[in-house]
Amino acid sequence: MPLKFHRLLLPLLLFVCQLLAEIPQCFHFTWVGAYENHSNIHTETCDSRVGDFNDIPCEEPLVVTPDDTVPDVKALWHNATEDRDNFLCQMSPGRSCVKYSYIFKGGIQNITYMCAIVNSTNGCYRQTHATGMVVEACVCTSKVGLIPCNGCSNSRLSGAMGLALCLIILYQWLNKYRIL
Ligand SMILES: *[C@@H]1O[C@H](CO)[C@@H](O)[C@H](O)[C@H]1NC(C)=O
Ligand SMILES: *[C@@H]1O[C@H](CO)[C@@H](O)[C@H](O)[C@H]1NC(C)=O
Ligand SMILES: *[C@@H]1O[C@H](CO)[C@@H](O)[C@H](O)[C@H]1NC(C)=O
Ligand SMILES: *[C@@H]1O[C@H](CO)[C@@H](O)[C@H](O)[C@H]1NC(C)=O
């Protein structure tokens, strides 16, 4: 390849690398848990469920699952016919992926997935209320192109890893074509 081409290509590739490394995604929806009449879910909003004036996390779209089981986010991520973007948000700089679960006597009542600005490092935090309700918040950082990290609760991937991985691939690619 002519040298001129390389000069153009290299910054471009670096730019693409950076771009890719910087816009990972998070899941973004609320699974309402056990729900009486599934055909009525379309009439529900976060407002109607939790109202304006409290700290209970809720993110539309509201989702019900067959048999009211915990959402299979892996299937959602891999389902090509599903409009996946409806259930995702961009993990823009300064934000993290968060998964809030309400757990009562070991049973998960509902889960809210979101992108949020949080003031804590990656990991899971549990708070037990007097009623016995446990609220678990898991904070993590997604990697670009991969399934968002707030699908599972104990993922600890760093955004820097995405960039590092990209640079390694770029380096290998450049080596292969003997550009360096
Ligand atoms: C569910 O809700 C729909 C719409 O309101 C209603 O037509 C249907 O009869 C309900 N089904 C049950 C099992 O309650
Ligand atoms: C999740 O469950 C808790 C406990 O039952 C409830 O207070 C909260 O409103 C629920 N969240 C949503 C979004 O429905
Ligand atoms: C994929 O999503 C579509 C639309 O919601 C659904 O009908 C279908 O059953 C899903 N397929 C799988 C394999 O989950
Ligand atoms: C974030 O955490 C730090 C250290 O725990 C604390 O001093 C600060 O007030 C927190 N900020 C917010 C917005 O909660």
Confirm if 113 and 98 have CB atoms less than 8 A apart. Answer: yes
Domain ranges of the chain: 25-155
pLDDT one-digit tens code per residue, 43-74: 999 999 998 767 899 999 999 999 999 999 99
Helix then strand then coil, % of the chain, to nearest 5? 35, 25, 40
The span from the CA of 104 to the CA of 165, in Å, is 40
Whose alpha carbon is nearest atom 13 of ligand 3?
79
Residue 43 CA to ligand 1 center (angstroms) comes to: 12
Q: Which ligand is nearest to the CA of 121?
A: 4
Q: How far is CA 109 from CA 5, 31, 34, in A?
A: 57, 9, 7
The span from the CA of 32 to the CA of 26, in Å, is 18
Q: What are phi and psi of 151, to 5 degrees?
A: -75, -40
The pLDDT value recorded for residue 96 is 95
Q: How far is CA 77 from CA 25, 36, 47, 63, in A?
A: 11, 26, 27, 15
pLDDT one-digit tens code per residue, 109-152: 999 999 999 988 999 999 999 999 999 999 999 988 889 999 87
The span from the CA of 110 to the CA of 65, in Å, is 11
Residues β-bridged to residue 125: 137
